[in-house]
Structure 1
């Protein structure tokens, strides 16, 4: 069943208003008719089954039939800090990691970031990244859309470490600590939902030794992702899957 995200103010009493591109999608692409049913989420806690009442290209009104109790969100809130990769690789990271279960995306600039940062262009890219996250959340039946933040500098990222319960810095020169070794004891000691994890992934050229030392000094666990070197756009997906497995999301140890 098709799923749509709306703002909280679009849900009033027993009705929901769907506007903009989503209204056009229902009316023109899905050819929705009164009586058709859809699932609507407010991006927070509300998920409802709704029946279309009126369908227009600019606005769709639907009657709320019932609330749906969903458990599609991951037990741990994993934020992926990804050093800006070349081309459209970040779009792939956002799409696939949203499907897997990421809570948030934090693009940042590191020493070996190749792309030239342009604030004016990045505003348009941020809008596109947010749209990709929304569409991936709808496709994968998420209850929430992962936030995509404005790109940060590396120093700004370090200052945010205090917001997280566990920080994982993926580095090919780790000193014997693999991701599983850091996540497994954390998952076993944090049995309740809601812990915040920051997963930090480098650019195509990897992190410098200085960056790794600064991250470790700020409280990050320096971890590896196995014997092979992964591409920048592959590392986040792999690490996120490992974290969710160890937390019991995919039949792991919990």
Structure 2
């Protein structure tokens, strides 16, 4: 069943209004008719089954039939901090990690980032990234859209570490500590409550040794991701899936 995200204010008692592009999608693409049913989410945990009542240009009115249980969101909130990669690679990261279950995305600039940062262009890119996250959340039947922050400097990223219960800094030169060694005991210790994890992934050229040292000093756990070197756009997806598996969110124990 088709799923749409709306603002909280679009819920009005036992009615909900779907506006703009989503309304046009219902009317033009899905060829919706009164009596058809959709699922509507407010992005904050409310999920409802609704029946279409009227379809106008740019606005669809539906009646709420039933409040549904929110069961699609992971108990462990995993955010992906990704150093800005070249081209559209970050779009792939956002799309696929949203499907897997990422809680938020934190783009940042590191020493080997090759993308030339332009605040005006990044604002447009942020809008596109948000749209990709929304569409991926709808496709994967999530009840929340992952948060997207403005790109941070490396120093700002380090300062944010204190907000998380665990920070995993993915570093290809780390051999002693691998992801499972850090995630499994953490998942066991937080089995009874929600927790937050930040996965930090470098650019195409990886992190410098100095960056790894400053990350460790700021509280991050330096970790490897196995014997193979992963692409920048692959590392975050791999770490996310492993963390959610160990936390029991993907069939783990």
- TM-score bracket, normalised by the shorter chain, equals over 0.9
Give the Å deviation of 1:10: 0.4
Specify the alignment match of 2:44 in structure 1: 44
Partner deviation per Cα, 1:213-240 (whole Å, 9 max, x = no partner): 0000011000000000000000011010
Distance of 2:135 and 2:216 partners within structure 1? 35
Partner deviation per Cα, 1:169-199 (whole Å, 9 max, x = no partner): 0001114100111000000010134201000
Specify the alignment match of 1:195 in structure 2: 195
Specify the alignment match of 2:157 in structure 1: 157
Distance of 2:229 and 2:82 partners within structure 1? 16
Give the Å deviation of 1:70: 2.7
Contact kept, 8 Å, 1:28 with 1:57, in 2: the verdict is no
Partner deviation per Cα, 1:35-55 (whole Å, 9 max, x = no partner): 000000000110000000001
Gap regions ≥5 residues in structure 2: none
Specify the alignment match of 2:94 in structure 1: 94
Contact kept, 8 Å, 1:158 with 1:215, in 2: the verdict is yes
Distance of 1:209 and 1:172 partners within structure 2? 11
Distance of 1:89 and 1:57 partners within structure 2? 35
Distance of 2:40 and 2:157 partners within structure 1? 34
Specify the alignment match of 2:139 in structure 1: 139
Give the Å deviation of 1:101: 0.2
Distance of 2:154 and 2:172 partners within structure 1? 18
Distance of 1:154 and 1:188 partners within structure 2? 31
Contact kept, 8 Å, 1:38 with 1:49, in 2: the verdict is yes
Gap regions ≥5 residues in structure 1: none
Question: What's the TM-score, normalizing by structure 1?
Answer: 0.99
Specify the alignment match of 1:71 in structure 2: 71
Distance of 1:31 and 1:154 partners within structure 2? 47
Partner deviation per Cα, 1:150-176 (whole Å, 9 max, x = no partner): 000000000111100000000011141
Alignment partner of 1:62: what SS? strand
Contact kept, 8 Å, 1:94 with 1:133, in 2: the verdict is yes
Give the Å deviation of 1:57: 2.3
Distance of 2:193 and 2:109 partners within structure 1? 31
Distance of 2:168 and 2:190 partners within structure 1? 16
Alignment partner of 1:80: what SS? strand
Contact kept, 8 Å, 2:46 with 2:70, in 1: the verdict is no
Residues 243 and 142 (structure 1), Cα distance of their counterparts in 2 relative to 1, 3 Å cut: same
Distance of 1:192 and 1:5 partners within structure 2? 30
Partner deviation per Cα, 1:91-136 (whole Å, 9 max, x = no partner): 0000000000000000000000011000000000000000000000
Specify the alignment match of 2:248 in structure 1: 248
Question: What's the TM-score, normalizing by structure 2?
Answer: 0.99
Q: Which runs of 4+ in 1 moved over 3 A?
A: none
Give the Å deviation of 1:56: 1.3
Give the Å deviation of 1:60: 0.3
Contact kept, 8 Å, 2:110 with 2:203, in 1: the verdict is yes
